[in-house]
Structure formats: C-alpha cells, structure tokens
Amino acid sequence: MEEASVKLLELTDVTIRFGGLVAVSGLTFHVNPGELVGLIGPNGAGKTTVFNIITGVCPPTSGSIVFSGVSVGGQRPYQITARGISRTFQNIRLFSSLSIFDNVRTAFNLHLKNGFFGSVWRGGSFRTEEAEVRREALELLEIFGLAAYADLPCRSLSYGDQRRLEIVRALATRPKLLLLDEPAAGMNATEKLELMKLIQFTKERFGLSVLLVEHDMKVVMGICERIAVIEYGRKIAEGTPAQIQKDAKVIAAYLGEEASDARS
Amino acid sequence: MKSKISLLIAVLFFGWLSFCFSGHREASWPLPQFDGYLLSILILIGINIVSAVSLNLVNGHTGQFSLGHAGFMAVGAYGSAWITLIHGKEILSLMGVFVSMPAECLFLIALLFGGLFAAVTGLIVGIPSLRLRGDYLAIVTLGFGEIIRVILQNSDALGGARGLAGIASYTTLGWTFGVAALAIYVVGTLVNSTYGRGFLAVRDDEIAAEAMGINTTKYKVVAFAVGAFFSGLAGGLYAHFIGYINPEGFNFLKSVDVVVIVILGGMGSTAGVTVAAVVLTLLNELLRQTEQYRMIVFALLLIVLMILRPQGLIADFGRLLPWRRRA
C-alpha cells in the first residue's frame, strides 16, 4: 500500500493528559487500508492509552482523529464502533454470563433494525433478522472453529479460545479496522505461532486493517508490515520491522539486549 | 420452537384478558370459587409478580441496582386512582355511549395512564442518574423514592398524608394475572432477543458492551423506563384492589420488599423471580400464625435461603425446561 493513498485512520498531534500526567503527547500516526501495523513500546509507554483514545474510551485532550475521512474525536465508543473500528481487550472482557453464541450475537446489535418493539412483537421481520443473525454468528464461529461449542457458557473456553472468541465478537461488528490489544499475552510458543497465523488469516479473509499492540517481539516482527514505537507517550520511531530492529533510539529505549540477540 | 411458546403465552394472556372482562371481582369459570381471603392472596401474588419481574429487568438483567421501585409504584397508583376517582364519572358517561363495558375501559385507561406516567417519571429520573454506578445509583434511586413519597404527603389535591380513599375495586384476578402475563412476556421476549441480549451485556461488562457498539446509556434508560412502566401498572392494580392508598404504603421498605423477591428469585431469572414472588407472598401469609415473631422468622428464612442458594431460588431454571436445553 502506498503512503500517498487514502489513509484509513489518521491521528494528528494527539495529546492526552490525566491531571498533571501527559500520557500521550503529540502523537501523529496513521494506518492505511489493508495494512497490519504494530504499536510497541516499553511498559507504561501509553500503548493501551492510544487504543483507548482511538476507541473513544478516553477522549484526547487535543489533536484530531480521522477515520475514513470523518473526524471521530470526542465520539462515544459505540459510535466509533459503528463507524468501523472494533477492538479486543488486553484483559479478556467477554460477557461472562452469556453463551459463546450470545457473546457474538450481542455484537450484531449495531446493525439491527428491530429494536425494543420489534423484539417484543416478534413479527416477521424480527424472525427473519434473528435467523440471519444466528446464521452469520455461527458462520463466524465456524471460521474460527468455535461453532461446535456455540451454546456453552463462554467461561468454559480455554484461555486461547477466549481470545479467539473476542476476535470473533469484534468481527461481528463488521469493522474496517481491528485493534488487537496484546493478543499474545499469556500464550505459549505454539499458541503464539497459531495466533500469528490467525491474525494474518483474519486480515486477509475479512479484508481488514489491523493495529496490533504487543509485547512479544517475535509476534510483532513476524507479522507487522510497519511498526510504530512509543516511549513515554511520544513516538520515537516508525518503519518496517527491519528498520525498527536497527533503530538506535528503539534499541536504547526498549529492545536493548534482546535486539542484539535477535540480530546475532 | 421459541416463537410457538411465545405464541402460547400470548394466547393465554388474551384468554386471561377476556376472562377478566367478565366484570366480577370473584373468579368465575374455569377457576373454582375462591373465598375472599384466598382471592386477595392470589391478587397480591399477581401484583408482586408484576413489580418483581419488572424490577428484575433493571436490577437483574441490566445490573443497575435501583432501590426506588416503590416510588414508581406510587406514581402508577396515584396516577390511575386520579383517573378513576376524579375523572371516572365523566369518562364513564362519555364512554357509556360507545362501549359495552365502560368500567373495564375506564380501568384500562387508568392503568395505562398510571403506567405511562411512571415510565415518564422513570425517564426523567433515569437519564441523569444512570450515569452513576452501583452504590451511587442505589442511593439516588432511594432518594427519588423518598422524594415521591414526601411530595405525595404534601399535595392536598391527592389527599396528602391521609391518602386517597374510596377507589373503585376494579382489580380482578384476571386483570392482575393478565398484567403479570404481559410483564413476563415482555421481559422474557425482550431478554431472549438479540436486541435484548444487550441488557445482559451492559450488566456483564459495560466497557466491552460499549466497544461492541452498544449504546449503554440508552439500554439502561430503556430498562429503567420499562421497569417503571410495569411498576406503575402494579401500583394501579394495587390501588384498585385495596381501595385506599396513602404515601406511607410506598415507603422505602416497600422497595426493599421487591428487591428481596428479586434477589431471592435470582437476579436476571424471570422464572425464578416469579416463583419467589409466589413463595414470599405465601410465606408472609403463612407466618401470620407466628404473630409478633413473623418478621424474625421471615428474616431468618431469608438468611438461610441466601446461604443455601446465593444464586437465587432457581437461577438455572432454563436448564430444567426441555425446549431451553438446546440454548
């Protein structure tokens, strides 16, 4: 994808302050359509805060966020999701009392035509829509190998499968941009490999752009096309994985010895 | 399958409705003749089902802990009594020309007015206060309930502290269980739809719900308004059953009574809450024999039940039903 093409997500000079603490400062950065971008940085660098800014959980103190040509700064999270940004969470946040199927179908709410009265009246259009939602949700679950367990409580899934279900749920909102917050956290080496395949597969299958926050360098370097590095809320480098690995600032800030190990 | 069951419920509901239009306070066929005491217990059970099932939508399904339920009941009770008591004659004479059952129509209008008035009150209270969570919301709703009571106590037009007396006895068994069936149907179908799963999502994780495109504020306000509407209906039924209402009847303890039914039945379980409404109302009557120790025994039973069944009487009721096992 060319730099010059229309950007899907564009953050310009975004700053957020929590009282005296400047969590993110003057961040400018973008995601192109169909791109897989990594956002890395040491602990407390502000990665998750950037996610929270993009998804509307914490509106920025200043700066602009433009998604598909529309400014989304200051909008509520559900409005931003409706525009096509969906996310997963660092600490899994499934709807714990609901079944796997219900977790997914809840995310279809956004596109429902039948609201309160339709759901109580249960007319023809409601039943058609409900069947449609069921079909689509099961189809999504099928793709990720979870359809067989659709009616089980989501708590009964293994940790890796719960992360997978979060991705399915995020996809059910029909996003254009998927934000993954540390999807590899707590996974072992095999699971991480599977995850990398899964992310790339998801991106191709649904024609998405993906923004990935991740601590695990193998995962980030393995699948990202472009990486932005932040430290203390400022962007210190941006480039391809190869460029980032050689970047002196990045090595100093973050990769340290691990980076030199990786190169040797 | 599910739609067939809802159809069945709807048919039963309309059956009840036509039955209740028979116009007698006493039950008629197909029910046996009840004596007055038994009949009044049954009606109280029905009223408690309505208020508990509606509160359950707010406290149980949507997870917004409200302690102001009696306030909405009061609004509904006074609203409907205002219609039948003060405008009853005009409406009756007006309608006598057009419809064959003017008294029933008057009661329907009064009930709906009380319910809608309560729903509007719910909106007014809910929109600002539902920004709060947990304990804070509980305190605000508690305060709201008290405000309603104090306003009623000081409004001479509505009888002040003396209350309103001489309300016509329109509430029959059919009306009560018709409204109860309606409440169960509405809450049940709502929660079992894709739209309604949003209420549960809001309860489970508000941040995740919002991130999945659910307007959490709207959901909370809708739950609050629907809950208030049915509490208003419950209040209307109560007023036209007892025939006399006063502000003290809708104090904080009344709210707690309903909350107890909801917690005991299982937060978020319509079936459980319905059963709990029956059990607790009956228990209240059975314990009359213990006279002044009634409340002690009652409280002890609650404590024991909470220790043995913290999830509610039948929180996993769905698993017992053959047609739900699949889901």
**Could you read off the pLDDT of B280-300 as tens digits, one per residue?**
899 888 888 877 887 888 788
The answer to whether residue A96 neighbours chain B at the CB level (below 8 Å) is yes
State phi, psi for A36 to the nearest 5 degrees: -115, 105
Asked whether B111 and B80 are in contact (CB, 8 A), the reply is yes
- pLDDT at residue A54 in the model: 94
Asked whether A105 and A171 are in contact (CB, 8 A), the reply is no
Q: What is the pLDDT of residues A18-48, one digit of tens each?
A: 988 899 999 999 999 999 999 998 888 888 8
Q: Which of A105, A34, A51, A1 is nearest to A213 (CA)?
A: A51
Q: Where does a domain end: A172, A206, A234?
A: A172
Measured between CA atoms, the residue of chain B closest to residue A78 is B213
Torsion-angle region of B132 (φ positive above 0: left; ψ -120 to 50: alpha; else: beta): beta
pLDDT band, very low/low/confident/very high, at B32 (cuts 50, 70, 90): low
Residue A90 lies in a domain: no
CB-CB under 8 Å, B211 with A57: yes
- Please count the structural domains in chain A: 2
DSSP secondary structure string for all residues of B222-243: HHHHHHHHHHHHHHHHHHHHHS
Q: What is the pLDDT of residues A54-93, one digit of tens each?
A: 999 999 999 999 999 999 988 999 999 999 999 999 889 9
Residue among A96, A106, A151 whose CB faces B197 most closely = A106
Distances (CA, A) of A189 to A22, A36, A200, B138: 35, 21, 17, 47
Name chain A contacts of B266, Cβ cutoff 8 Å: none
The answer to whether residue A152 neighbours chain B at the CB level (below 8 Å) is no
- pLDDT at residue B18 in the model: 56
Same-domain pairing of A58 and A104:
no
User: What distance in Å separates the CA atoms of residue B270 and residue B190, rounded to the nearest whole number?
Assistant: 11
- pLDDT at residue B91 in the model: 81
Q: Which of A65, A13, A5 is nearest to A34 (CA)?
A: A5
Same-domain pairing of A46 and A153:
no
Q: What is the pLDDT of residues A163-214, one digit of tens each?
A: 999 999 999 999 999 999 998 888 888 889 988 999 999 999 999 999 999 8
Residue A33 lies in a domain: yes
The per-residue b/e assignment along B197-221, b for 16 or more CB within 10 angstroms, e otherwise, is bbbbbbbbbbebbbbbbbbbbebbb
Instruction: Say what the pTM is.
Output: 0.88
Same-domain pairing of A6 and A124:
no
Name chain A contacts of B203, Cβ cutoff 8 Å: 97
pLDDT band, very low/low/confident/very high, at B6 (cuts 50, 70, 90): low
User: What distance in Å separates the CA atoms of residue B280 and residue A76, rounded to the nearest whole number?
Assistant: 43
- pLDDT at residue A191 in the model: 87
Residue A45 lies in a domain: yes
Q: Kindly report the number of other CB atoms within 10 A of residue B166's CB atom.
A: 8
CB-CB under 8 Å, A93 with B212: no
The per-residue b/e assignment along A126-153, b for 16 or more CB within 10 angstroms, e otherwise, is beebbeebbebbbebbeebebbebbeee
- Domain containing A119 equals 98-172
User: What distance in Å separates the CA atoms of residue B166 and residue B159, rounded to the nearest whole number?
Assistant: 12
Q: Which helix H or strand E contains B302, and what residues bound it?
A: helix B294-308
**Tokens standing for residue B175:** 């009306």
Same-domain pairing of A33 and A154:
no
DSSP secondary structure string for all residues of B139-201: HHHHHHHHHHHHHHHT-GGGTGGG-B--------HHHHHHHHHHHHHHHHHHHTSTTTHHHHH
Token pair 């304990």 is found at B135
CA A106, A112, A114, A117 dihedral sign is positive
Q: Decide if pLDDT at B71 tops 50.
A: yes
Same-domain pairing of A73 and A204:
yes
At B134 the three-state DSSP class reads helix
Q: Which of A86, A64, A62 is nearest to A73 (CA)?
A: A64
Question: B2-251 is classed in which CATH architecture?
Answer: Orthogonal Bundle (1.10)
Q: Which of A246, A177, A178, A258 is nearest to A216 (CA)?
A: A258
- pLDDT at residue B327 in the model: 39
Q: What is the number of residues in chain B? A: 327
State phi, psi for B159 to the nearest 5 degrees: 90, -5
- pLDDT at residue A259 in the model: 46
Determine what percent of chain B is predicted with pLDDT higher than 70: 84
User: What distance in Å separates the CA atoms of residue B122 and residue B112, rounded to the nearest whole number?
Assistant: 15
Predicted ipTM? 0.89
Q: Residue A220: is it exposed, middle or buried by C-beta count within 10 angstroms (0-12/13-18/19+)? A: buried
The answer to whether residue A126 neighbours chain B at the CB level (below 8 Å) is yes
Q: Decide if pLDDT at B201 tops 70.
A: yes
pLDDT band, very low/low/confident/very high, at B308 (cuts 50, 70, 90): confident
State phi, psi for A23 to the nearest 5 degrees: -80, -40
Same-domain pairing of A75 and A183:
yes
pLDDT band, very low/low/confident/very high, at A140 (cuts 50, 70, 90): very high
Q: Residue B293: is it exposed, middle or buried by C-beta count within 10 angstroms (0-12/13-18/19+)? A: exposed
Same-domain pairing of A261 and A162:
no
CA A7 to chain centroid:
17
CB-CB under 8 Å, A95 with B209: yes
**Tokens standing for residue A176:** 């254009």
Q: Residue A189: is it exposed, middle or buried by C-beta count within 10 angstroms (0-12/13-18/19+)? A: exposed
CB-CB under 8 Å, A102 with B197: yes
Residue among A81, A106, A151 whose CB faces B327 most closely = A151
Q: What is the pLDDT of residues A202-254, one digit of tens each?
A: 999 999 999 999 888 889 999 999 999 998 889 999 999 999 888 888 888 76
CB-CB under 8 Å, B207 with A57: yes
Q: Decide if pLDDT at B319 tops 60.
A: no
Q: Kindly report the number of other CB atoms within 10 A of residue A170's CB atom.
A: 25
Q: Decide if pLDDT at B101 tops 50.
A: yes
Determine what percent of chain A is predicted with pLDDT higher than 70: 94
Asked whether B230 and B115 are in contact (CB, 8 A), the reply is yes
pLDDT band, very low/low/confident/very high, at B48 (cuts 50, 70, 90): very high
CB-CB under 8 Å, A78 with B205: no
Going by their DSSP bridges, the two strands A85-87 and A70-71 should be labelled as unpaired
User: What distance in Å separates the CA atoms of residue B125 and residue B195, rounded to the nearest whole number?
Assistant: 23
Looking up residue A64, the CATH number of its domain turns out to be: 3.40.50.300
Asked whether A35 and A1 are in contact (CB, 8 A), the reply is yes
Residue A141 lies in a domain: yes
Residue A257 lies in a domain: yes
Q: Where does a domain end: A121, A140, A172?
A: A172
Q: What is the pLDDT of residues B226-280, one digit of tens each?
A: 999 999 999 999 999 999 999 999 999 899 889 999 988 888 888 889 999 999 8
Mean pLDDT, rounded, of chain B: 85
Same-domain pairing of A159 and A182:
no
Residue A89 lies in a domain: no
State phi, psi for A181 to the nearest 5 degrees: -100, 105
Same-domain pairing of A78 and A140:
no
At B251 the three-state DSSP class reads coil
User: What distance in Å separates the CA atoms of residue B194 and residue B190, rounded to the nearest whole number?
Assistant: 8
Distances (CA, A) of B252 to B8, B121, B148, B281: 37, 17, 11, 18
- pLDDT at residue B277 in the model: 93
Same-domain pairing of A130 and A183:
no
